[in-house]
Structure 1
Amino acid sequence: MSVERSTRVPFKEGHFSKIEKCYDEKKQITGDEVGLDNRTKGKVRDQYVYPNSIVLVTTDRQSGFDRSLASVPYKGAVLNQISNFWFDKTKHIIPNHIISVPHPNVTVGMKCTPFPIEMVVRSYMTGSTDTSIWKNYQSGVRNYCGIELPEGMTKNQKLWDVLFTPTTKDEHDRPISCEDIVSEGFMSKADLDYCKSKCLEVFKVGQEWASKRGLILVDTKFECGKDKEGNIRLIDEVMTPDSSRYWIKETYSERVENGQEPENIDKEFLRLWFRANCDPYKDEVLPEAPRELVCELSRRYVGLYEIITGEEFGFGNQDEKDIKDVIEKEAK
């Protein structure tokens, strides 16, 4: 399995040996060995609920197509710390749920009731999942989330505007219009209008910041919820490579003009590999992602962290016992 390594993602070679060692020694953080009873397991994050807070553990599990695809070294620490970076940078726009980040993989947050809607924001015609704008357009959909799409659009082209394209969080997610969100009782119009406005504003900050660092923030999903006082807060994760697509700005135009996929620093190329090697929605057993691909994905994640934050990634100790100690302190 040959994986293209982007030379435009700054990365120290000594880092890669740490990634390979973590992979070979199976030191990825899965969440399974924390060993506490009050765990609620999500696709990537595990939750531990206490009277005054909720503890979120971002693991190295890699999800896609509503499935577990792989375990990627250091991915959880990257996601958690990139989220914290964006939460801090956008807290003047919308309050968030952060109380503290006591460990690279752990966030202590306020207890909030999530809205049952993912606030998806898009600026390019792309995607490989069944809810994505490109997959729907490719199958003939021209009214997507209540938005009329013109004929003749092509994959990966820039949209005429930044679009708000929410999806439900049902057993099988589905694109939904703002009008239907209100009429079907998912959210009130006032709450939806507020969330839409703030998510678009946060996305704009992300795009401008990414552009200055040679990246294109293509799309992302946000989640919002209400705290016990009824205040709407930004929750979960913000503009991570799991919830977003990031492309290399310098090569975007040339690659698209030549019919190539944009250089990406997110999990899209892992999804594309599974699309090419199985039916990830229907096959009962999925093939194992190649070692080279998983390690390259880790390299891109760590590289993205360093591009966005301007700081060198701290690999630290991949030990779930440390996470258990942090959670138990929160419980006291």
Structure 2
Amino acid sequence: MSKALTKTDFHFPGLKSVYHGKVRDVYNINDEKLIMVATDRISAFDVVLPEGIPYKGQMLNQIAAKFLDATADICPNWKLATPDPMVTVGVLCQGFPVEMIVRGYLCGSAWRAYKSGVREICGVRLPDNMRENEKFPHPIITPTTKAEMGMHDEDISKEEILARGLATPEEYEILERYTLALFERGTQIAAERGLILVDTKYEFGKHNGQIYLMDEIHTPDSSRYFYSEGYQERFEKELPQKQLSKEFVREWLMANGFQGKEGQQVPEMTPEIVNSISDRYIELFEHITGEPFVKADTDHLAERIEKNVMDYLME
């Protein structure tokens, strides 16, 4: 059986600090570079699940790298190199403490709020009489705060971001412009693959006074995709859309009584469940990139990553 990488403990030269996120481990090298290792951990409802998913880290890292390259003409981004299938090395940025979430369609948490009568999200007024999975007249930006570990992200408006000094008016204008341009590019690329980019999130930071796009983009962990074929018919019949996202993991958890609430137990993740999730991620990768997924050797994952990163750092 393929192995999954769920923990890392590297000691790279120049190491200043390590941040272990929900799914990625980030190594700070001399306050200049970040080595981001996409592990095979998987999270849902802000909880890291007990089993890793083979190849998940490789898939997310390679999708993100591909889209960072495909959008580098829109705005500068943090990526310098991908020395290993599960690793991206990039410049260290001072991150804005907000995530720029952009939505092209009314679904997910926005739909749940709308259905309950809410007509304004993050200061954005929503049209009346919309239906689930309906396309907005124009994409909307609904930012959230970037929460500490174990905390939930919270919706925040542009006005609150400015009032709290999380970004200057000039900075926010750039963040907004980049967000909409990136979403438009992602939408175009998705359309070529027979997909609809429904919503996604972007993170930005500053490096040498300039705003950079950071982290992953347009992956199934940070984005929701619908299949174009059948979208209109399903929408008109008020049927669930066929999705390419991590939603299937959340649905499996909910069907087994888990939504991340206190006192709830994560259902048993049998080898069959783990393998089926891995297979679904491979399907996601191939649809999103339009390329076959090539499995990297998983026999000695940590050793492979360490060697590849060390070789890069010594160049």
Calculate the TM-score normalised by the size of structure 2: 0.89
* Residue 106 of structure 2 corresponds to residue 125 of structure 1: yes
* Residue 120 of structure 2 corresponds to residue 167 of structure 1: no
Task: Using the TM superposition, give the Cα deviation of residue 253 of structure 1 relative to its aligned residue in structure 2, in angstroms.
Answer: 2.3
- 2:248 corresponds in structure 1 to 269
* Residue 88 of structure 2 corresponds to residue 111 of structure 1: no
Task: Using the TM superposition, give the Cα deviation of residue 226 of structure 1 relative to its aligned residue in structure 2, in angstroms.
Answer: 0.5
Task: Using the TM superposition, give the Cα deviation of residue 80 of structure 1 relative to its aligned residue in structure 2, in angstroms.
Answer: 0.5
Q: Looking at both structures, which has the greater relative contact order when contacts are Cα pairs under 8 Å and sequence separation is at least 6?
A: 1
What is the DSSP-based 3-state SS (H/G/I as helix, E as strand, rest coil) of the residue aligned with 1:274?
Answer: helix
- 2:129 corresponds in structure 1 to 152
- 2:306 corresponds in structure 1 to 324
- 1:243 corresponds in structure 2 to 222
Contact 1:58 1:79 (C-alpha < 8 Å) held by counterparts: yes
1:81-117 deviation digits (Å, cap 9, x = unpaired): 1111111111010000011100010001101111000
- 2:239 corresponds in structure 1 to 260
What is the DSSP-based 3-state SS (H/G/I as helix, E as strand, rest coil) of the residue aligned with 2:177?
Answer: helix
Q: Equivalent of 2:72, from 77, 91, 98?
A: 91
What is the DSSP-based 3-state SS (H/G/I as helix, E as strand, rest coil) of the residue aligned with 2:42?
Answer: strand
CA distance in 2, matches of 1:299, 1:292: 10
**Which amino acid letter does the alignment assign opposite residue 140 of structure 1?**
G
What residue ranges of structure 2 are gaps of 5+ in the alignment?
Answer: none
**Which amino acid letter does the alignment assign opposite residue 181 of structure 1?**
I
Task: Using the TM superposition, give the Cα deviation of residue 216 of structure 1 relative to its aligned residue in structure 2, in angstroms.
Answer: 0.8
What is the DSSP-based 3-state SS (H/G/I as helix, E as strand, rest coil) of the residue aligned with 2:138?
Answer: strand
- Describe how 1:1-332 pairs up with structure 2 within 5 A: 21-22=1-2, 27-32=3-8, 38-51=17-30, 52-69=32-49, 70-127=51-108, 132-170=109-147, 171-227=151-207, 229-276=208-255, 277-289=257-269, 291-318=271-298, 319-329=301-311
Task: Using the TM superposition, give the Cα deviation of residue 303 of structure 1 relative to its aligned residue in structure 2, in angstroms.
Answer: 2.4
What is the DSSP-based 3-state SS (H/G/I as helix, E as strand, rest coil) of the residue aligned with 1:71?
Answer: coil
Aligned length: 303
**Which amino acid letter does the alignment assign opposite residue 121 of structure 2?**
Y
Contact 2:99 2:202 (C-alpha < 8 Å) held by counterparts: yes
> Quick check: 252-261 or 136-145, which moved more?
252-261
1:65-92 deviation digits (Å, cap 9, x = unpaired): 1111352221111111111111111101
Contact 1:34 1:321 (C-alpha < 8 Å) held by counterparts: no
What residue ranges of structure 1 are gaps of 5+ in the alignment?
Answer: 1-20
Task: Using the TM superposition, give the Cα deviation of residue 157 of structure 1 relative to its aligned residue in structure 2, in angstroms.
Answer: 1.9
**Which amino acid letter does the alignment assign opposite residue 29 of structure 1?**
L
Calculate the TM-score normalised by the size of structure 1: 0.85
Contact 2:102 2:140 (C-alpha < 8 Å) held by counterparts: yes
Task: Using the TM superposition, give the Cα deviation of residue 271 of structure 1 relative to its aligned residue in structure 2, in angstroms.
Answer: 1.1
